Amino acid sequence: MKRQPLLSLLLACCLVSAAAAQLPRIISYQGVLTDDVGSAVPDGFYNVVFKLYEEELGGAEVWSITRDVMVEKGIFNVALGSIQPLDIPFDKPYWLGMAVAGEPELFPRVQLMAVPYSLNSWGVVGETNFFPPAGNVGIGTPGPLERLDVDGAIRIGGTDGMNPGTIRWTGTDFEGFMGVAWQSLTGGSGGSLPVGSEGQTLRHNGSAWAPSSLLYNDGTHIGIGTTTPDHTLHVNGLARFDLPFGQIAISTPGGWPGLIAYSNNGHRRDIVYDDSRMFLAASPSATAPTDDNGIVLNENGQICIGTDTPSEKLHIQDTGPTYVNIDAPTGYASGVILSENGTAQWRLLYDPAEGTVQMYREGSGAKMVIGNGGRVGIGTTILHGDAWLEVHSPNPTPGKAAIIGYSYFNQSPSWGGGIAVAGIHSDDQVGGTGVYGSATDGGAMQDSQVGVYGYTDDGYGVYSDGTLGSTGPIVAVAPTEDYGHRKVYSVQSAENWFEDFGEGRLSGGEATVEIDPVFAQTVNLGETYHVFLTPVGDCGLYVSEKTSRSFTVRAGDGKPVDIAFDYRIVAKRSGFESKRLEAAKDPEMFRQRHRAGLGAAVPGAAVGAGE
């Protein structure tokens, strides 16, 4: 394999900053590895040995390292000296040799050019020397703290140069050239400074240097307007800072300490610190902002916007419609978390994936969702159908209702239990309805329309605590083996009757039948009741006596026969003895009332209805 490294980058060594302990001695090297036909070797890691020599041919290496280098499209980069320090002085020519994967060293060696010899920049050689504009220079110290830091004495000689800023020693005084003439740096040709007191600084009054207490320096603190500074910088009075864009002033907005800032367009912003609060406000002009146009943080930890008398931890007040906008990036949920003692309890959030607002309690499974158009789901975070109210109760508590609806007039409502839907209306003076459902215009699918649907595998599918009204027949849907499901209609009556069936047997032409005591307590047997007999054989039968507990059956003509018979007993329901064909309200009144209650949401239907 032919691997010819090509040096394609300058080899560089950088000076450290003034605070560093020594120079970074690192050479950045880039090469190209090719095979025997000059094509780039496959990408991957290659084991390469790098060595530095003082001779182009032969000789012993003065530095070496073995590195696994990453090669991509034949090109590799390595920083020599980053792992194994380059501990050679770089005060003579050096050559770089390289061997790949245990093969002989590549020929020829590569001579290091000028840039790496900057590693020997510990000394300054030449008639004119230039130092970079950034960084510090130290003489006698490895960690210069200023642009020029000298550990030791400095000797300044005389000069006739006329460059502004030049300093010279005349033999009796230090002078500086200000561009027109030389001026004394000590206040006089005698070499002495003006007399002042401790902490004073020098101020040039236009003709000479004079001591000043306006800027005071006690060696630790700087005071402006004070001779007793107790901070690194202590200003007694107002201060102003002109920035590239705008201005900030330490001032007294509203008579209190604070900051006044002016934006680039001249509009004013204030931060005020009074005796009980911090006030941050902005003005749309250069005038002072008003109290109702800012944010207040008081000593109780309350934050208020638009008012300075908060009643809660966060109080927002405005003169018109007031909103709080929580804006998340596209695809992310936004909302509010309600916590107790640092633990989240409830979440109210907008779910962008479903386009719904959800509210749920942490860890309890309790949840509610509001979708487009005001559709509501309870017990779920996803609306599955197009119903206005969708309720899920995956783990119901025994005796609890999934939905409870009530309508009452000056009375406390009664609550349903163990029922899918409970509707209560307690005073018909307001024309209320416990549960109302409408299903209209089914067309070819009219048998599938259901106004109110209830289901249970143990209990009541639909339960009415009171009169159950219907303008149509009461139908039971019964399955058949050969004819599918068929409608079976209930018998209707002008009065409220209960009936029971049974069988008996004559012995010696007579039998006394005891009425079921449970049935007897559901009806009023003190009122007239009816018994219908069917003999199981050729014999005439009649009821000879009826009491509240039994009735007696005898054979016709007093025959002493022994024969079986069936009977049907019909009696008025207890408490409803006087009910007979009472006047009923027009069903259209109910239809109009409940359709009007829904408005235009589902035309021609009512709450709990489907079309």
Residue 508: CATH number of its domain: 2.60.40
Range of the domain at 266: 238-316
Q: Classify residue 114 as exposed, middle or buried by CB count within 10 Å of its CB (0-12, 13-18, 19+).
A: exposed
Residue 604 within a domain? no
67 found inside a domain: yes
SS (H, E, C) 238-294: CEEEECCCCEEEEECHHHCCEEEEECCCCCEEEEEECCCEEEEEECCCCCCCCCCCE
Contact between residue 597 and residue 433 where contact means Cβ atoms under 8 Å apart? no
- 343-352, 435-444, 517-526: range with highest mean pLDDT: 517-526
Assess if residue 44 is contained within a domain. Answer: yes
What pLDDT, on the 0 to 100 scale, is given for residue 523?
94
Tally of CB atoms within 10 A around 433: 17
pLDDT of residue 395: 60
| Residue finishing a domain among 120, 135, 155 | 120
Residue 380 pLDDT > 70:
yes
Radius of gyration of the chain (CA): 52
What residues contact residue 517 under an 8 Å CB cut-off, 6+ apart?
none
Q: Please tell me which of 402-411, 524-533, 596-605 the model is most confident about, judged by mean pLDDT.
A: 524-533
Given 70, 102, 120, which residue is the final one in a domain?
120
Instruction: Return phi, psi of residue 316, to 5°.
Output: -115, 130
Q: How many domains does the chain have?
A: 3
Summarize the confidence of residues 501-514 as an average pLDDT: 94
Q: Is residue 146 part of a domain?
A: no
Band (351; pLDDT cuts 50, 70, 90): confident
Comparing 89 with 568, the larger pLDDT belongs to 568
**Beta pairing partners, 79:** 28
Question: What mean pLDDT, rounded, does the chain reach?
Answer: 77
Q: Is the pLDDT of residue 308 over 90?
A: no
Among residues 32, 23, 33, which one has the least CA distance to residue 116? 23
Q: Is the pLDDT of residue 444 over 80?
A: no
On the question of pLDDT at 442 being above 50, the answer is no
Bridge partners of 406, per DSSP, are 424
295 in a domain, yes or no? yes
Residue of 231, 205, 203, 237 lying closest to 218 (CA atoms)? 231
453, two tokens: 């649907």
pLDDT tens digit sequence for 261-304: 888 888 898 888 888 888 888 888 888 887 777 888 888 888 88
**What does the alpha-carbon distance between residue 537 and residue 167 come to, in Å, rounded to a whole number?**
148
pLDDT greater than 70 at residue 468: yes
Any domain includes 325: no
Residue ending a domain, among 88, 120, 152, is 120
Each residue's pLDDT tens digit, 18-37: 333 455 678 888 888 888 88
The whole-number average pLDDT for the span 242-258 is: 81
Maximum separation of any 2 CA atoms in the chain, in Å = 168
Q: Has residue 91 been placed in a domain?
A: yes
Neighbour-count burial for 408-417, b at 16+ CB within 10 Å, e otherwise: eeeeeeeebe
